[in-house]
Amino acid sequence: MKKDYHLVCGMEVHAELKTESKMFCGCKNDPFGAKEPNIHTCPVCLGMPGALPVANKKAIEWTIKLGLALNCKINLFSKFDRKNYYYPDLPKAYQISQYDLPFCYGGVLETSFGPVGITRIHLEEDTGKLLHKNVDGKDLSLIDFNRSSVPLIEIVTEPDIKSPEQAKEYAKNLRDIIRYLNIGDCDMEQGGMRLEANISLQEDGVEGLPSYKTEVKNINSFRFMEQAIKFEMERQAEILDANGIPPQETRGWDAKKGITFAQRTKEDAADYRYFPDPDLAPIHLTEEFINKLKAELPELPVQICERWQKVFGVETRFSSLMFSLPSEAEWLEKLFVLAQNKNLDSNKLAGSIVNKKFTFNFGDAPEEILKKFAELGQTDEIKDDDLLDAIKKVIANNGDALAKYKAGQTQLLNFFFGQTMKELGKKVDVAQLRKLLETELGK
Amino acid sequence: MLNTLTLKKALDKIAKKELTAKQIIDDVKAEIEKRNGELNAYLTLNDNDTEIGNLENTTLKGLPIAVKDNICTRDLRTTASSTVLDDFKPQYDATISTKLKNAGGYIIGKTNLDAWAHGSSTETSQYGRTLNPRNLEHLPGGSSGGSAAAVAADLCIAALGTETAGSIRQPSAWCGVVGLKPTYGRCSRYGVIAMASSTDSPGPIAKTVEDAAIMLNTIAGHDPYDGTTTTKETPDFTSYLNQDIKGMKIGVIYTELEGLEDVSKILLDQVKVFEKLGATVETVKAMDPHHSIGVYTIVQRGEVSSNLGRFDGIRYGNDRSHFGHEAKNRIMLGTYTLSKGYADQYYNTAQKVRTLYIEDYKRLFEKYDVLISLTSPGFAKKIGASEGSAMFGELEDMLVEPSSIAGLPGISVPCYHDKETNLYLGMNIMAPMYREDLVIKVGDAYEKNSNWNSWRNK
């Protein structure tokens, strides 16, 4: 029997921090820029006998900064734990991570579909990388430790995500904030940011969480994640419709086939034997320290957009698309101030920039931008829908001209142009009108 | 016979240009040649002679120092007495190896230990047991048995060992030498093959308290590569030698324990030395050390199971089949106690009891400057004694385990010599954290006012 279900989804996102040195040693943190394997290594990140970790203070600060940006509470007493498991890319046979006392907990990230609760953010170290290659006719597994012990943060959400689209927006917003704080590049292709989704379905009208969940791991693009969740929703609904319960398992994503596939069931789930790492003293933080980090936090994009709306009248539908770094926001702010001083319409200016009416680079002199903007001619901002209505009206009233136009008298385009301008009674953006008009006349 | 010189005497003679380090090294090498085949104190000898000489202006003036084989020495084989690391030549020096070299110490060779430092006999070494030079039918103790034997047999001028719970002090007591276990965090663990990371403490094994103080000066101090080392300033530990101990308060503990009646009598007789020197001495009851066996067993096994995971057969040449019985035993027990559902029952409970010991010592140190006990419940055991006794080490180390898990500094000095067996008992002097000054002061005063140090009698 077919029932209606809704998605219950939480996410785990890993992101590498771009500190100068690695998490627990002084080696250069540049796994993607390294010219050769195993050049950014030392006894510590190679896990040599006797080597000891020393925590990277900057990485701890940055983790807390992200927590503050996501409205998290900060644990004033925290520690690192050992997560024990065997894998060739893990030279110590344990990963230094955080178990029960992460640096940050209890935050929230807003999306246009509603808030997503942040359960925790913890700091750990990345592993090395395995390369399976054929060398001189032999199939070999090679290990590159350049990535070993690179600082890695894990951001875990509450099961608040209600649609694949929201999952995508959440992940994108998170990436944007990490980049905006300038603490990570989040290069998805290289593995600088990795997505995991915990997915289950609940019958509509039923309270509480479902009795099962599947975890889809190693997704390396936002689009794939959206697809994976959609695929899982369909797959799980089929099982539920047949009165079954999808097994609790970890699934992988096959990007080529566009499907998820079973990887590991609960039965062989690892017991990581967590215990506090005796090599790293527990970390006591002070309110003063947290406040200092808070003060260093840049104004976040959401706050900037809200302020620009108030001060310059720039709509957030434009401003939210205009910048991804603090330096870019600073430059735009200068531009809007200058525009305001010259009594120019900042919102129209923003619209022209978003709609790529002219080319520019961040860092260009603001005066030059305003010159380009002026050259566009002062036109009114008209929504596509309104424009379309006017065009349709003009076409409907001029069936004769339309027939001639279609017969090959293309110069009649100017006639329709003029009619539409008259109909609207506003100064229209020529390029915008021409594009729409041609499309409509071509139908 | 220059190998029988104490470190202090050797340094003085070199300073006066009566001798060179090279002459002493030659005598030490000759003695090693003569006796190591039988004693098995050294696993590897340093054949790099280019390091010898021209070190007269350094602290240790090029004198030959033995180093326990779980301390990494660059390009010099380091096995931790396990064949898993049979061919392992570290690419780097442990911080204490660097410090030793910088201070002008010549690493003469690497000494035997219980494999991975698991044990108190050296009988679990995969390269054969070490014998006690004082009586070849007996064990040297362990895990730093090779270093203690090398010092006792004058196969070096001084040595480095490591202690997790008794591994410096117990073999020092059994071999009739001085062993100083510094405060946890006083000496860097970087490059010391990890056993139980939360208690591992490298320290000197030497002929006299004075020699131990000189050695501690060379290896102590903050290390940016070990976040658990102290940032406190390192004092000159030799400045606490030859001090008046008048008015000091000394508490004697563990003398009431069952089965220790005979040896406790000896200890209680010996502490009268302090009364003669003007200190007050009282016997006092401390928290029962038996509980420390459980605490140590669980914490140490848990940490061992994690620390040995890296020897997974992918690197270092030999696979896991090379692990000996003792290591396998400990890995399995530790894996179990850390497992889901058991961690609370075992590991977390053990940590709580550990805190009780720390608090008990705090209470005692409010009243006493130092605490004194026997180092080991008896004389050195006969060879083969550890075989088939799974808890051998824990029982032999029971009297030093509580202070080890509390991170306290302690020194073992010879406090009795049995003429019939030629074996020694050791007195264990403990102080609050970072108060090595007190154990050196009291240990030195005792040594100079008693007759048990075999080098002082020469």
Evaluate if residue A379 carries a pLDDT over 70: no
Q: Which residues contact B208 (CB under 8 A, 6 or more apart)?
A: B6, B7, B8, B178, B447, B453, B455, B456
Is residue B295 assigned to a domain? yes
pLDDT at B458: 58
Q: What is the pLDDT confidence band of residue A381, given thresholds at 50, 70 and 90?
A: low
Tokens representing residue A2 in the block:
């077919």
Is residue A404 assigned to a domain? yes
Give B305 to chain A, closest Cα distance, Å: 9
Question: Which DSSP helix (H) or strand (E) runs through A128?
Answer: none
Is residue A196 assigned to a domain? yes
Interface test with B, best of A266, A279, A283 (most B CBs within 10 A): A279
- Give the pLDDT mean for A179-192: 94
- Domain shared by A312 and A212, yes or no: no
- Domain shared by A269 and A319, yes or no: no
Buried b or exposed e, range B252-280, using 16+ CB within 10 angstroms: bbbbebeebeebbeebeebbebbeebebe
Is residue B458 assigned to a domain? no
Tokens representing residue A397 in the block:
């009233």
- Give the pLDDT mean for B298-318: 93
Catalytic site includes residue B143: yes
Q: What is the pLDDT confidence band of residue A168, given thresholds at 50, 70 and 90?
A: very high
- Give the pLDDT mean for B349-357: 95
Q: Do B190 and A51 touch (CB under 8 A)?
A: yes
- Domain shared by A433 and A367, yes or no: no
DSSP classification of residue B310: G
At position B321, the amino acid (one-letter code) is S
Domain boundary among A288, A315, A348: A288
Distance between CA atoms of residues B181 and B435, nearest Å: 11
Distance between CA atoms of residues B306 and A392, nearest Å: 74
Evaluate if residue A44 carries a pLDDT over 70: yes
Distance between CA atoms of residues B80 and A47, nearest Å: 16
Show residues of chain A in contact with B68, CB under 8 Å. none
Q: Do A273 and B343 touch (CB under 8 A)?
A: yes
Is residue B416 assigned to a domain? yes
- Give the pLDDT mean for B258-286: 96
Mean pLDDT of chain B: 95
Is residue B453 assigned to a domain? no
- Give the pLDDT mean for B288-311: 94
Is residue A218 assigned to a domain? yes
Give just the sign of the alpha carbon dihedral A163, A165, A169, A172.
positive
pLDDT at A267: 59
Distance between CA atoms of residues A197 and A203, nearest Å: 19
Residue-wise pLDDT tens digits, A82-91: 999 999 999 9
Q: What is the pLDDT confidence band of residue A417, given thresholds at 50, 70 and 90?
A: confident
pTM recorded for the entire structure: 0.89
Q: Do B335 and A279 touch (CB under 8 A)?
A: no
At position A236, the amino acid (one-letter code) is Q
Evaluate if residue A378 carries a pLDDT over 60: no
Is residue A77 assigned to a domain? yes
pLDDT at A432: 73
Helix A57-69 to helix A287-296 angle (10° resolution) is 70
> Cα dist. B51→A136, A398, B47, B103, B151 in Å?
42, 102, 10, 13, 21
Evaluate if residue A302 carries a pLDDT over 90: no
Is residue B237 assigned to a domain? yes
Q: How many residues does chain A have?
A: 443
Q: Is A155 within 8 Å of A15 (Cβ atoms)?
A: yes
Domain boundary among A288, A317, A351: A288
Q: How many residues does chain B have?
A: 458
- Domain shared by A48 and A22, yes or no: yes
Range of the domain at A71: 5-288
- Domain shared by A103 and A202, yes or no: yes
- Give the pLDDT mean for A315-333: 90
Would you say the ipTM is above 0.90?
A: yes
Q: Residue B288 in 3-state DSSP?
A: coil
CATH number at residue B174: 3.90.1300.10
From the list B260, B264, B209, B217, the residue with the least C-alpha distance to B237 is B217
Give B95 to chain A, closest Cα distance, Å: 10
Count of domains forming chain A: 3
Is residue B205 assigned to a domain? yes
Evaluate if residue A164 carries a pLDDT over 90: yes
- Give the pLDDT mean for A164-178: 95
- Domain shared by A239 and A365, yes or no: no
Q: What is the pLDDT confidence band of residue A380, given thresholds at 50, 70 and 90?
A: low
CA A58 to chain centre: 23
CA B247 to chain centre: 29
Evaluate if residue B140 carries a pLDDT over 80: yes
Q: What is the pLDDT confidence band of residue A443, given thresholds at 50, 70 and 90?
A: confident
Residue-wise pLDDT tens digits, A49-80: 999 999 999 999 999 999 999 999 999 999 99
Q: Is B100 within 8 Å of B107 (Cβ atoms)?
A: yes
Residue-wise pLDDT tens digits, B388-419: 777 777 778 899 999 999 999 999 999 999 99
Domain boundary among A288, A315, A343: A288
pLDDT at A435: 78
Evaluate if residue A428 carries a pLDDT over 60: yes
Catalytic residue among B81, B167, B172, B188: B167
Instruction: Find residue A117's DSSP bridge partners.
Output: A108
Evaluate if residue B214 carries a pLDDT over 80: yes
Interface of A with B in 28-47 (CB under 8 A): 43-44, 47
- Domain shared by A223 and A369, yes or no: no
Cβ-nearest to A52 among B78, B190, B312: B190
Residue-wise pLDDT tens digits, B77-93: 999 999 999 999 999 99
| Burial grade of B38 (CB within 10 A; 0-12, 13-18, 19 or more) | exposed
Count of domains forming chain B: 1
- Give the pLDDT mean for B28-42: 98
Is residue A293 assigned to a domain? no
Q: What is the pLDDT confidence band of residue A281, given thresholds at 50, 70 and 90?
A: very high
Question: Which DSSP helix (H) or strand (E) runs through A254?
Answer: strand A249-254
Is residue B457 assigned to a domain? no
Range of the domain at B79: 2-448
Evaluate if residue B20 carries a pLDDT over 90: yes
Tokens representing residue B160 in the block:
């480095």
Evaluate if residue A408 carries a pLDDT over 90: no
Q: Look at the block and give the residue holding tokens 């202090």.
A: B8
Give B101 to chain A, closest Cα distance, Å: 18
Among A276-280, A418-422, B17-21, whose mean pLDDT is lowest? A418-422
> Cα dist. B65→A239, B11, B91, B101, B454 in Å?
72, 13, 21, 10, 19
